[in-house]
Amino acid sequence: MKQLTRLVRCVLPVCALLAAPPGGAQEATPGSQWPSFNNRLDGQRFSPLMEITPANAAQLGEICRLQIDGPTTFHAGLVVVDGLIYTNTGRETVAIDAATCAVRWKYSYAPEEERFSPSNRGLAVLDGRVFRGTGDARLIALDAATGRLLWKNVIGAPRLGESASAAPLAWQGVVYMGIAGSELGARGRVMAYDAQTGRELWRFNTVPIGEEQGAKTWKRPKSAKTGGGGVWGAMTLDVTTGELFVPVGNPWPDIDKAYRPGSNLFTDSIVVLDARTGALKWWHQVTPADWQDMDLVAAPVLYRDSQVRDVLAFGGKDGFVTGIDRDTHKQLFHTPVTTFEGIPKGATAEGVRICPGYAGGVEWNGPTLDRLNHTLVTGSVDACFIVRSGPTKYSPTEASFGGTVAPDGPVTGWVTALDSETGQIRWRYHAEKPVIAGVTPTAGGVTFTGDIAGNLLVFNSKTGELVLRAPTGGALAGGVVSYEVGGKQYVAFASGNVSRMAFGALGLPSVVIMALNAGHASSAPALTTPSARTPAGAADAASGRRLYSQICVSCHGPDGNLIGDHKLSSLPSRLDEAATVSYIKDPKPPMPKLYPGLLNEQNVADVAAYVRQEFKQ
């Protein structure tokens, strides 16, 4: 017995040393972290935390908030690892304390080429490294502890309209990343990279050419070279089978399907690849020969139901949540989660009405699995559009739809819970504005999400009762996550967004952290802009160029002509300098009003100088 006691005394310190997290990081208990875009690689997004319930959710209060960038898009997810929140905008990447909002580090990316997109859906964290894409088609790796740049890889050609706005997925030493740019006639693909070196391991083209499988579905082969099929959201991975599930976007041109006859594989599809080799295993195309911009962008959800069926469930901009049996590839359910009207045969010069499409349906944060109630819960956009046909012109610097689109009627949103086996609707909530933020169900019986009116929404997961509606000061268009620090459950979310989805509130990109009985604790320092009332000095077109790339490009496009009836190329001939400044300050809908809340006098003068200089006919 004495020998055994000596052995235990000897071994216990060693065991404690082996069990301690490296570098003093907090121990990873179930639910304490949010390690990837959708929490788990299978896309379920469920949190096992139970402290916040329907009975006490109304007691949630703000702990802190941190503004991480000036006015721009903020669509990114939040990742929580070892007590730090990692997130990003198009240029900025930050690591902040998950309980106090204190900044651990910040990395600012300076574009090396013309940026085509300020949008970014998020980042991945693996083995002490942070991975993200950029608007000029780079994939970069940062040290998770310091923010130091470790490597940078050129993975696309901005001159061909390519960008890297997707959220990467990282697993077992490999980073998976997609290429976006469908509206610019880019040809989509997904690639795998060595996480240590950035070396490419394999690639799969989402629009096939030549002898690639599916190439014959492009009956005009030349059109496949500019065929779209961008990957611009997030992906899902099944660690048990090694399968990578990739949602693929729309074909180009969006409206003019006569330009690209055929069913146009693999656009508007879930493509299933061997994660080790990139080999195609199978696919499911939702909308062949699409002309309504029916992207699949949100990561699908993988789960096994009570009938031992392995199910693939996903939402799309067609406005449906679809369930597929992964063994038979047969459809299990196909349930509308927003307003759906019959599909016309195609666009006309006079215009046809479609519901949804373009900015409608399920966007980049799709269905999640509530394991407590066996439901799929998703947000969606309720929007109808008038679509008119028009000429198609290919230029990688000019976005062309082959026609024009315009919203028709009010734009609202839905939160919908569906039975995860039958697809039948259990409950619905009609939001005043679109719901495109992440949806997070928990073991505590509450589900968190938000709308772009700027409200954090908390539901009783079983009944759909809204138990908390908390204004946050900015549109919710990115991640909503829950995690634990020091035995306390927190909720963090992205608030503030300026983009094509600006149908509600705007706001400056900020991370907001809430917890029970928090009150309103002191906030971390914000990156504020000068007072709107400060008189403008000499206009700076270079500053205006940066502001245009951060704010305006998502609607107007890199050439200023994305909106057919608001082309900036004709602006200098229509408005003098003073009138240009006045219009930016007080625009007509649907252009959002940014002054004086998000832009000051100097900002307005700088943007006006840039657009008048850059977009002369």
Q: Residue 597: pLDDT above 90?
A: no
Give the pLDDT confidence score for residue 372 in this predicted structure: 98
In a domain, 49, yes or no: no
3-state SS class at 112: coil
Look at residue 540 and tell me whether its pLDDT is greater than 60.
yes
Tell me how long the chain is: 617
Q: Please check whether residue 9 lies inside any domain of the structure.
A: no
pLDDT higher than threshold 90 for residue 527: no
| pLDDT tens readout for residues 249-275 | 999 999 999 999 999 999 999 999 999
606 pLDDT exceeds 50?
Answer: yes
Contact 84, 97 (CB under 8 A): yes
pLDDT in tens, 197-235: 999 999 999 999 999 999 999 999 999 999 999 999 999
Distances in Å between the alpha carbon of 143 and those of 20, 87, 123, 551, 612? 21, 14, 13, 28, 41
| Average confidence (pLDDT) over 468-495 | 97
Residues 443 and 384 in one domain: yes
Indicate if 491 and 546 belong to the same structural domain: no
Question: Given this model, what pLDDT does residue 311 score?
Answer: 98
* 387 has a pLDDT exceeding 90: yes
Residue 183 lies in a domain: yes
Among 92-96, 202-206, 514-518, 579-583, where is mean pLDDT lowest? 579-583
Query: pLDDT category, 586, cuts 50, 70, 90?
Result: confident
504 and 593 share a domain? no
Exposure letters 234-243 (e unless 16+ CB within 10 A, then b): bbbbbeeeeb
Q: Is the pLDDT of residue 178 over 50?
A: yes
Q: Are residues 268 and 308 in the same domain?
A: yes
| Residue 509 shares a structural domain with residue 366 | yes
Bridge partners of 582?
A: none
Distance CA 504, CA 411 (A): 9
553/90 Cα distance (integer angstroms): 12
- The verdict on 487 and 554 lying in the same domain is no
Q: Is the pLDDT at 439 greater than 80, yes or no? A: yes
Q: Please tell me the predicted confidence (pLDDT) of residue 468.
A: 98
Give residue-wise pLDDT tens across range 99-130: 999 999 999 999 998 766 789 999 999 999 99
Please give the pLDDT value at position 519: 63
pLDDT (0 to 100) of residue 561? 67
The answer to whether residue 532 sits within a structural domain is no
* CATH number where 587 lies: 1.10.760.10
pLDDT at 174: 98
Q: Which of 516, 531, 561 is the last residue of a domain?
A: 516
pLDDT reading at 409 higher than 90: yes
Q: Is residue 564 scored above 90 in pLDDT? A: no
The pLDDT confidence band at residue 18, using thresholds 50, 70 and 90, is: very low
Q: Please report the sign of the dihedral spanned by the C-alpha atoms of residue 541, residue 545, residue 550, residue 553.
A: positive
Instruction: Say what the pLDDT of residue 555 is.
Output: 73
464 in any annotated domain:
yes
Answer for the pair 188, 171: CB distance below 8 angstroms, yes or no: no
- Kindly report the average pLDDT of the chain as a whole number: 90
Domain that holds residue 339: 57-516
Per mean pLDDT, which of 3-12, 318-327, 529-538 is the most reliable? 318-327
The domain total for the chain is 2
Average pLDDT for residues 351-369, to the nearest whole number?
Answer: 95
What local confidence, expressed as pLDDT, does residue 117 receive? 79
Question: Is residue 581 pLDDT above 70, yes or no?
Answer: yes
Residue 473 is given by DSSP the state S
Classify residue 605 by its DSSP letter: H
5 inside domain: no
CA distance 455 to 472: 6
Determine the Cα–Cα distance for residues 543 and 505; give it in Å rounded to an integer: 25
CA 361 – CA 321 distance, rounded (Å): 10
Supply the CATH number for residue 459's domain. 2.140.10.10
Same domain, 125 and 160: yes
Same domain as 453, residue 395: yes
| Residue 393 DSSP class | -
pLDDT for 8 beyond 90: no
Alpha helices in 519-616 (DSSP H): 541-547, 553-556, 571-574, 577-585, 601-614
**Same structural domain, 606 and 491:** no
pLDDT at site 532? 54
| pLDDT score recorded for residue 21 | 41
Q: Among 95, 123, 148, which Cα is nearest to 511's?
A: 95
Asked if the structure places residue 35 within a domain, the reply is: no
Residue 533: predicted pLDDT: 57
* 328 and 376 part of one domain: yes
Which one of 482, 516, 550 terminates a domain?
A: 516
State whether 549 and 511 are in the same domain.
no
One domain for residues 334 and 448: yes
What band does 14 get if pLDDT is binned at 50, 70 and 90? very low
Residue 356: inside a domain: yes
- Give tens-digit pLDDT for 29-42: 788 999 999 999 99
Residue 451 near residue 437, CB atoms below 8 Å: yes
pLDDT at 23: 38
pLDDT at 538: 86
Confidence check: pLDDT of 382 > 60: yes
